[in-house]
Amino acid sequence: MIQLAGFGLATWSKGTLSEDYPFIYKGIKPPFYDRNLGSLCERHETNVLLCHIRASGYDSLNYEAVVNENNCHPFIFPGFRLAMAHNGGVNGFKEIRLDLLNRCKPEIVKYVEGSTDSEVVYALLMSQLDEPTKD
């Protein structure tokens, strides 16, 4: 079984005060139950939109999914230029999580707040870039 475990969006808008960094909105409810989202979307224009509805595994005998805003996609660390959302899962993530984090730059790992494989993959990807805060 799967459960809807939140959603998130990132929008970039030309002509705004912070057009180089997206407006981020995340919530633990599915978007169709989020009363604030409709109002925000009616009053927001964007040039680029990245959104993600999170689904996580659910097993009533072995519940492991953590539903919180830190685990909602998309991921973008402060000042970074690339955002990421990911569907699917990394097989054996619990066993390789620390190995993956150890391959990341310490100045990037400090931004990891959630417990998802996607955020760790994002940190690993950003660690491959010489300057993740530059174009």
The model's pLDDT over 15-33, given as tens digits with 9 standing for 90+, comes to: 887 888 899 999 988 888 8
For residue 18, how far is the Cα from the chain centroid? 19
The model's pLDDT over 51-93, given as tens digits with 9 standing for 90+, comes to: 998 877 655 544 456 888 999 999 999 999 899 999 888 888 9
Quote the percentage of the chain above a pLDDT of 70: 91
Asked whether the beta carbons of 82 and 17 are under 8 A apart, the reply is: no
Q: Per-residue pLDDT averaged across 108-123, rounded?
A: 95
Q: Which two tokens stand for residue 57?
A: 């595994």
CA–CA distance, 73 with 15 (Å, rounded to integer): 25
CA–CA distance, 48 with 110 (Å, rounded to integer): 27
CA–CA distance, 111 with 4 (Å, rounded to integer): 25
Report the predicted TM-score, pTM, of the whole model to 2 decimal places: 0.87
Domain segments of the chain: what residues? 1-74, 77-134
The set of residues, in sequence order, having a beta carbon less than 8 Å from that of 78 and lying 6+ positions away, is 111
Instruction: Decide if pLDDT at 95 tops 50.
Output: yes
